[in-house]
Amino acid sequence: MEKGKGKDTDRSKGIPGHHARVQSGDIYLDIFGYRTTPMKTIIFYALTFCTLGIFRLLMHWKEEWYIEMRAEKCSLDEANVVFVIDENQTMVYRSVQIIDQKSPNQPLLLPNRDGTYNDVGRIRYFTFRKMLYAWFVDEEKFIPPSSLDSTAPVTVFINRMEDSNGLNTQEVEQRRITYGRNVIEVKLKPILVLLFKEAITPFYIFQVLSVSLWYWDEYLYYASVIVIISVGSLTLDVYQTRAQEKKLRSMVHSSGEVSVLRDGGTISILDSGELVPGDIIIIPKTGGVMQCDAILMTGTVIVNESMLTGESVPVTKVAMTGIDEDNAAGNVRFDFEKHSKHVLSCGTMVLQTRYYGGQHVRAMVIRTAFSTTKGQLVRSIMYPKPVDIEFNRDLLRFVGFLCCIASIGFAYTIGMMVHYNAQFKKIFIRSLDLVTCVVPPALPAAMSVGIINANGRLRKKDIYCISPSVINTCGMINACCFDKTGTLTEDGLDFQTLRPVHPSSSNRKMPEFGEETAAMVPGEMPKNGEIIKAIAACHSLTRIDGVLQGDPLDLIVFNQTQWTLDEGQESQAEETTQFDKVQPTVVRPPVEHREFYGADEFGVIRQFTFSSALQRMSVIVGSPNAVSDHQMIIYCKGSPEMIVSLCNKETVPADYLDIVNKYAQHGYRLISVACRTLEMSFLEAQKVPRQEVESDLELLGLVVMENRVKSVTKGVIRQLNSARIRTVMVTGDNLLTAMSVARECGIVRADRKAYLLEHVPDQKNAQGRTLLTVKENLSADPDDYMNLLDGDENEVEKMLTSSYQFSVAGGTFAVITREYPELLDDLMTVCDVFARMAPEQKQYLVNYLQTLEYTVSMCGDGANDCAALKAAHAGISLSDAEASIAAPFTSKVADIRCVPTVIREGRAALVTSFGVFKYMANYSIAQFTSVMMLYYRLTNLTDFQFLYIDLFLATFIALFFGNTGACDYLSKIPPPTKLLSIASVVSVVGQMIIFAAAQLFMFLWVTEQPWYFMNILQEDYTDSDLRSHQGTAIWCLSLFQYIVLAFLYSKAAPYRQTILSNKMLCFALVLTTVVSLYVTLWPAGWVISFLEYDPIPYFEDRLFVVVVSCLCCGVSYLFNMFVVEYLILHKLENWRKLRKLADPKAVIPKWERIMLRIGKDTSWIGQYAQVEHALPEKTHKNGFAKNGFNSKKELLNTIDELSSKL
């Protein structure tokens, strides 16, 4: 079922037009219409008044209740309130606002999908997360206006560019009403507003009620300390929120002046906030920061997109024309991904402009403010995807469990007080007071210490996190995706060799590859070194402030040629002025090589920029000496498979694929180079469609580059593999090259079979679908393969381990997603190398892994990885910047050692959160049982005894819980991810029983002592609680119980370091132990007076209390180690896991169910693909394999046998 679909259907049932869904990719909003009524309004405010605001507070916590109590369902076109549910099931209500036209001569505008505008008299809208959603009558839904006109047909934009002299004043005013000002502003909320929002959360409201009760009961010191703690925690939360707001505002704040074409072509200098979609802006020669999203209309612009992508390599943007191959069809709609080469994105830095003589470089504004690319990223930071949803649910359930215990105590207290004829006030205060004992006031602050300390440790390792709440999620990661180039391998490549192609001739019937050569000497190469000229001209390099900049690969190869590059204005040749008033890039060969080329310089007349989808780039080159002949040459370079598809087959050597595969299998990166002679004028060269000239090419040869694996990569991948964390390569490089690098670094394991899944474009199978083929790539060593089955894995691990791995290229991946959707689940579970993947495919992959219930991290250098980084549970960007808005984590150390570090710190933070919660829960319950026993005789602990426990013991110890660092290695045993696991519940309940039994024993023991006397209770008892020896004994005993809890729940390996490494916690434990021994065994008079308790009179009896305490602590330790750690976590959990794997109805992660079925069996792929090589194992129709289990019966028998051993 689609997420939220069933709930949404129920909500909108029976009301036509009540619900509409607005969707953009994986992001959607479900919008429901409501209308307020006078009767519901009166009832609502009456209930709010009668309950002193409590009713309104409940409605604030449950907004779905608020909307039902405040309004009635209606169709969206009648609604004055809407209820919005996003893809994460976050629910909010928004009021529908109305803008009416001021006069008949000043209509309002709303865009259409065809790029036109409608005059309307009224605009109904609401705002949600900084975006305006307007009501479109024809669409019958609320839609952001920017999502319509920015996706209009390409021809609409082209026509506007050719005809437009800018908007007039009225059009500007109309559009400003519709789109608002062009400002990305992160407003700082007033401190009082932040305080109020934090203070009305359920927990703080509970604290307010608690301290009010305590003040009423004259627990002044204790209540005051809790107020100080609460105010401190509240202040810290507000401070952190304000600091994050300030940091985000400083990161995104940008404004400036822009030159705008308006009112018939007049150039005006305006503030960037005045821009509206449709404005024509002038891109200055000096560059600057883009203040909006715009389509380039004329000229060429070089930009730095590092702010958005994390990649500082300059990118060339070209003007949009109607002859571009992407825009040739009249019905093609503008798409930001597809047409990114024409888009200047908000927030990017313009480095340089190139233009026609006498003309400005112009661009058309298409998106402003928060609808821009930068605005969307800012919104994703301001409104992050909720994390730890299950953890928070478990937390609330556990608090509910504590409340159930509190209700028992509540009833017990009332019963006891009534039995002793206490007055109503006494009954009321004492029964509620017991409830406040159960939920500890320091819980929120204590729960956050693990995350705060983990974040601090990450910063010390140059790993910066802009969303600390994600850290706990990192502890659950079980699949890591990596980009290849710049992430697993070095960012730069080393030039290895050239393999030029000798064309066919009278002496050579077929073209063939020449010998490898690293020296670029034209006289020693075919066609006088035409391949060298192609390499020197076909790139996107540019000079900025005299320094050659561009793609590192282009820089390395260009420098190898020893040619020089100048911008057109720097050319010294007079002939350059003949290039039709174009400013071309000019390349010149070394002086000693010019005789081979017949010219001193060559001008790059036209550049078709590199496209990930097209896998190539090309340039049209002309020589001033050939102007009269209109002779041009197009040079094209790209992936070997793409370039050969564009070449004339007669120019391709017969062993082309063999040579390419040979290099690729050794991990080399290959670039194919081709050319074609053109007969056209310079003007024709500027307008010719790309697809027209990138065809019938002549292959010139291969450039071979070595992409070295980073020194730390192998070790990191080995760590992750040892920890049984799945590693996946997601790259845009060649499939065989990716396979080679994956095998070298360990992603493709030596102990597993490796298969390539490919498609045959021109062939169909019996079902009419594109033919898929499977072949073995690199055979594994049989001994290594057996090690997989006979290693140190336990039986569960063996069952959930695949004996083989698949690799797939982006083209095949697209075919599978389109034609074989039923294959995706199985393939995604066993395929670990994805090559030739476009950015949107990387995002799709990450999202799909999440649907298989993997917790996914994505690590990349920012180039083409932004979407995947944002989609992952934990995106880690490798960047020099201290913070990047492309991912929650940014590592300034540009290698993948940060990945295990983030996981280890995540595991430490997660285990710390679990430990702190169990500690606080047990401490509260222990105090609860103490008070319940004392209430039996209407006695109680004194104010300062409570203060000693809550402040000096519980809060002081919990404060240092998170100081324990992460373990130095990654364990293959994943940490617990559920707070309400059997182990957690048994641990808390078991310690509760042990503590309660010890306290009951102490209560009864004191009663039997000769020095004990019972307080004489008067009828109509109204005095303050009496202190007693029973209270003293139970209090002294409980002190050591609280201390041992801290020791028990400070879990060390395999997720955290030993408790001894946490010096502050050790100091706290030693100090509290010494002080507790002192006040128990040798209390001075001033201590007795200060704590206001009755001391146990004899040292031997006081020593007996300590002995009982030690025995109780020993029992607690043995229970935790034997029952919880050994029987439950080790034996019972393994047994339950095995039973779940055997039970098809059991709830286990989806990927585990799939792996159990296909992990040792490859027969499933034979149903979809043609197998070219024998598969590794004998397979069976029932889905179990020889090296796994021959049948389900065998699986069940094996589980029963293992269970009997457990």
User: Known catalytic residues?
Assistant: 483
Tokens 């697209």: give the residue: 814
Identify residue 99 by its one-letter amino acid code. I
Using CA atoms, how far apart are residues 579 and 1097, in angstroms rounded to an integer? Answer: 107
Calculate the CA dihedral of residues 545, 546, 551, 555 and round it to 10 degrees.
-170
Name beta bridge partners: 352. Answer: 302
Tokens 């502890």: give the residue: 475
Calculate the CA dihedral of residues 920, 924, 930, 933 and round it to 10 degrees.
-150
Angstrom distances, CA of residue 1008 to CA of 937, 1003, 1017, 1089, 1147: 15, 9, 19, 26, 53
Using CA atoms, how far apart are residues 950 and 419, in angstroms rounded to an integer? Answer: 30
Tokens 């310089």: give the residue: 601
Locate 594 and state its tokens: 């010019």
Using CA atoms, how far apart are residues 600 and 628, in angstroms rounded to an integer? Answer: 17
Count other Cβ atoms within 10 Å, centred on residue 121. 10
Cα 663 to chain centroid, rounded: 35
Helix (H) or strand (E) holding 824: helix 824-830
Residues 489 and 709 sit within 8 Å (Cβ to Cβ): yes
Name beta bridge partners: 83. Answer: 32, 93
Q: How many CA atoms lie within 13 A of 162 on its CB side?
A: 9
Helix (H) or strand (E) holding 834: strand 831-835
Short-list 697, 604, 533, CA closest to 316 = 604
For the chain, report the end-to-end CA distance as a whole number of angstroms. Answer: 38
Residues 1080 and 1095 sit within 8 Å (Cβ to Cβ): no
Locate 399 and state its tokens: 């608090």
Short-list 119, 117, 120, 118, CA closest to 156 = 117
Residues 6+ apart with CB under 8 A from 747: 482, 717, 727, 728, 729, 832, 833
Short-list 412, 388, 534, 265, CA closest to 931 = 412
Count other Cβ atoms within 10 Å, centred on residue 999. 25
The 8-class DSSP code of residue 575 comes to G
Using CA atoms, how far apart are residues 330 and 44, in angstroms rounded to an integer? Answer: 55
Short-list 806, 809, 801, CA closest to 755 = 806
Using CA atoms, how far apart are residues 407 and 401, in angstroms rounded to an integer? Answer: 10
Residues 298 and 356 sit within 8 Å (Cβ to Cβ): yes
Using CA atoms, how far apart are residues 841 and 861, in angstroms rounded to an integer? Answer: 17
- Kindly provide the residue ranges of all beta strands, DSSP E only, lying in 305-370, ordered along the sequence: 315-318, 343-344, 349-354, 361-367
Calculate the CA dihedral of residues 516, 518, 521, 524 and round it to 10 degrees.
-20
Using CA atoms, how far apart are residues 496 and 517, in angstroms rounded to an integer? Answer: 9
Name beta bridge partners: 854. Answer: none
Using CA atoms, how far apart are residues 429 and 189, in angstroms rounded to an integer? Answer: 38
Report phi then psi at 586, rounded to 5. Answer: -115, 130
Short-list 485, 636, 493, CA closest to 553 = 493
Count other Cβ atoms within 10 Å, centred on residue 832. 23
